[in-house]
Amino acid sequence: MDEDNLIQIQVKKSQKRIERDIKEKFGYHHLTRSTSNKALRNMVSKRITMTVMVIDLVGSTKLSTEISPMRLGRWIREFSQESTYVIESFGGHVLKYVGDAVIAYFIHENNPKKNVNDAVLAAKALIQVIKNSVNPIMKKRGLPTLSLRIGIDHGKNSVLLYGHDMRKSHIDLIGLTLNFAAKMESICGINQIVIGDNVYRKLYTAQKKNFKKVSTKRWKYYHVEHNHSYPVYESL
């Protein structure tokens, strides 16, 4: 199935979920964090190659001063939960929600090309889901529409356990890849994706045509592992 069809499937599924949410108070699932925890607890104290995605909701800080906490919560919920469904549909895991941001990762250690291409496709699908599924309903409710910025990088992160209990202690990721993905998100335009060179090099040829290199005036970070400046690319 081609890319456009895969994305349209996600848009249609999202529309059905949100319609159910309005009519039946559909209960979004709450299993995503436990799914991620289960995956990571098998890799504690290891450095794992993965693709990391940082998704930021644009304008939420300003909005938090303009609408009620109840309406803001509804706005954030639609974003975070629909993001989760899309990410999981492409084989990813949601690591955590951080205010108005979602941090996710994709692990296919034996197939890095699949890893990065699934992540980029998920990012594209998510932008279309927000634009064509979530936003029309937001307008009907009198809520502001949503827009995103997405940073993606590929490399190694360490899996850390904050405590001694393998079942209950907090677990998280730390590493240059996660750090870079967050920094890339900060230079994104509205509804844009920025990817690191480690991602770009592994993209299928057809995917590469959708990105252009970011100038060194806007991005000046140095990759300590590669001992040179680290190029990044933005979606067209």
**How would residue 27 be classed by pLDDT, with cut points 50, 70 and 90?**
low
Confidence of residue 157 (pLDDT cuts 50, 70, 90): very high
Side-chain-side CA neighbours of residue 172 (13 Å)? 10
Q: What is the mean pLDDT of the chain?
A: 87
What lies within 8 Å, CB to CB, of 4 at 6+ separation is none
Give the pLDDT confidence of 126-141 residue by residue, as tens digits. 999 999 998 898 888 7
Task: Tell me if 189 is assigned to some domain.
Answer: yes
Tell me the percentage of the chain whose pLDDT exceeds 90: 46
Tokens of 45: 């104290």
Contact 228, 198 (CB under 8 A): no
Closest among 194, 177, 13 to 88, alpha carbons compared: 13
Q: Which domain holds residue 167?
A: 3-17+33-235
Q: Rounded mean pLDDT of 28-36?
A: 63
Confidence band (pLDDT; 50, 70, 90) for 75? confident
Q: Note whether 54 and 185 are within 8 A (CB).
A: yes
Q: SS3 of 233, please?
A: strand
Buried b (16+ CB within 10 A) or exposed e, 37-61: eebbeebeeeebbbbbbbbbbbebe
Residue-wise pLDDT for 171-184, tens only, equals 899 999 999 999 99
Question: What is the torsion angle, in degrees rounded to the nearest 10, for the CA atoms of residue 7, residue 12, residue 14 and residue 19?
Answer: 170
Q: Does an H or E element contain 36, and which? A: helix 32-41
Q: What is the pTM of this model?
A: 0.91
DSSP state of 145: P
Is 42 domain-assigned? yes
Q: What are phi and psi of 56, to 5 degrees?
A: -115, 135
Which tokens hold the place of 113? 């090309």
Q: Which residue has the higher pLDDT, 150 or 171?
A: 150
The residues pairing with 159 across neighbouring beta strands, listed in sequence order, are 173
pLDDT score of 19: 78
Q: Give the CATH number, domain containing residue 210.
A: 3.30.70.1230
**Domains contained in the chain, number:** 1
Is 104 part of a structural domain of the chain? yes
* Residue-wise pLDDT tens digits, 34-62: 678 788 888 888 999 999 999 998 877 77
Q: Which residues of 72-98 are buried (b: 16+ CB within 10 A; e: fewer)?
A: bebbbebbbbbbbbbbbbbebbbbebe
Residue 180 resides in a domain: yes
